[in-house]
Amino acid sequence: MSFPRFIRRSSKLALSSRSTPLFATSRFSNRPFCSDSNNSSSSSTTASAASYYHLSGGPSHMRAAVFWEPGKPLTFEDFHMPRPKANEVLIKTKACGVCHSDLHVIKGELPFASPCVVGHEITGEVVEHGQLSDSKIIERFPVGSHVVGAFIMPCGSCLFCSKGQDDLCEAFFAYNRAKGTLYDGETRLFLRSNDKPVYMYSMGGLAEYCVVPAHALAVLPNSLPYTESAILGCAVFTAYGAMAHAAEVRPGDAIAVIGIGGVGSSCLQIARAFGASEIIAVDVQDEKLQKAKFLGATHCVNAAKEDAVKKIKDITGGLGVDIAVEALGKPQTFLQCVQSVRDGGKAVMIGLTLSGAKGEVDINHLVRRQIKVIGSYGARARQDLPKLIKLAESGIFNLTAAVSRTCKFEEAPQAYKDLDKGAIAGRAVVEIM
């Protein structure tokens, strides 16, 4: 389906430079836009004209879920239709995963500019391309095509992107993660009620429409469903990055995964796909461990009932695993991960945690036994996302088994509450269609 060009109009706005405490007043018209505490450079950042438009015969605005401040519930607000710029794509969002990274932001555990739209694990339909976009991008993602978006959105031109290390993209970390904007230093989200700008966590995917840099997208074949495929952009994407690039899993490796949530359970499936011989799932909930067996775990350890490190050593004949993956983000499990690997083994850390949290290790053991401690944030969008789609399309990665709950757009705030309580085994996905 092809949409006519947008009708544009603009209104000049500026980001607030005030140091007033966040949300000192209650209504949008008086509400300060941002807090300097999250980003020292935000006070000097200004937005150029905030252009918005509507589809001819289509909507002129959309809804999105907004995070205002820690301890406050997400609210649904009306936004002007977001406008893509050069080499960006406007997506009609079909589904968005519910991830712990969003929850860390919502709880104030990870500093991020606010107010913002969370959600970073999406599928959708291409609606429009930004003006002056490269013709190859338009050819690859024609209007109407189905796509999946990766949460690490590479710029494609920085030092790391030029080396193929999309997961270390300088622009992504300098602009999106540090400032909540895209790579011109501006957001694409403006409230309809008062034209105030709102920040973006990745693409701000918990919305009816979102703008995504083209390098973060891959075509989703019609054979794969929108809902379950959303998790390819973070849960599976993160797991693949850990297994393929950080751990470099080889057939026959013994692997332990500590923390069997959405990402941890995806690690089990990727480890099985890579030919790991022993796959040990570690968690404190029997429900998650029971599901882990279906996803590829050969052994399960309930760390609430037994010593996880000792049990892992027993399973591996006293040696420890070749690779241990920490997918929870706690100092205790960080230490368990390091202690569980054999001499010369790799401890891969992928779980995010409270900002500033520290993990402890036995330095002598680390040195004498050549233990490698490696951080891994995600995969590489341009190279890896198409591979993940093929794994799902072939059935090697079971998307249906990985998604444990689906919910309506309006139910998204409750889904995050349930995630915080540990009531979601696997991954929840919000359907926005």
53 pLDDT above the threshold of 90: no
Residue 355: what pLDDT? Answer: 84
Dump pLDDT digits (tens) for 181-198.
999 999 999 999 999 999
Average of per-residue pLDDT across 312-329: 96
Task: Determine the residue type at 345.
Answer: G
Q: Quick check: 46 pLDDT over 50?
A: no
pLDDT in the model for residue 425: 84
For 122-145, what is the mean pLDDT? Answer: 96
Task: State the pLDDT at residue 422.
Answer: 87
Percent of the chain with pLDDT over 70: 87
- Of 48-62, 251-265, 343-357, least confident by mean pLDDT is 48-62
pLDDT band at 315; cut points 50, 70, 90: very high
Total-model pTM: 0.86
Confidence check: pLDDT of 37 > 80? no
The residues facing 323 across adjacent strands are: 255, 346
- Contact of 275 with 251, CB cutoff 8 Å: yes
Nearest to 195 by CA among 84, 68, 93, 78: 78
Kindly indicate the confidence band of residue 35, based on its pLDDT and cuts at 50, 70 and 90.
very low
User: Is the bond into 73 cis (omega within 30 degrees of 0)?
Assistant: no
Per-residue pLDDT band for 121 (boundaries 50, 70, 90) equals very high
Query: 351-396, pLDDT tens digit by residue?
Result: 988 888 888 889 999 999 999 999 999 999 999 999 999 999 999 9
pLDDT, mean of residues 4-10 = 37
Band of residue 22 on the pLDDT scale cut at 50, 70, 90: very low
Q: What is the pLDDT of residue 354?
A: 81
Say yes or no to pLDDT of 163 above 70: yes
How large is the average pLDDT for residues 385-410? 96
pLDDT score recorded for residue 357 = 86
Residues 292-305 have pLDDT tens digits of: 999 999 999 999 99
- Rounded to the nearest integer, the mean pLDDT of the chain is 88
Give the residue from 108, 323, 123 showing the smallest Cα distance to 234: 123
Q: What is the pLDDT of residue 145?
A: 97
**pLDDT value for 57:** 58
Cα dihedral sign for 328, 330, 334, 335? negative
pLDDT of residue 279: 98
Confidence of residue 13 (pLDDT cuts 50, 70, 90): very low
| Per-residue confidence (pLDDT) for residue 356, from 0 to 100 | 85
Q: What is the mean pLDDT of residues 101-110?
A: 93
Asked if 177 contacts 189 with a C-beta cutoff of 8 angstroms, the reply is no
Query: Structure tokens of 318?
Result: 């006293």
pLDDT of residue 332: 93
Average pLDDT over residues 276-286: 96
The predicted structure's pLDDT at residue 71: 83
The four Cα atoms 259, 263, 267, 273 give a dihedral, to 10 degrees, of 150
Q: Using only C-alpha atoms, what is the Rg of the chain?
A: 22
pLDDT in tens, 196-233: 999 999 999 999 999 999 999 999 999 999 999 999 99
Closest to 123 measured CA to CA, from 150, 144, 141, 89: 150
Confidence band of 146 (pLDDT split at 50, 70, 90): very high
On the question of pLDDT at 18 being above 70, the answer is no
pLDDT at 261 over 70: yes
292 neighbors 268 (Cβ within 8 angstroms): yes
Distance from C-alpha of 202 to C-alpha of 205, rounded to nearest angstrom = 8
* pLDDT mean over 94-105: 96
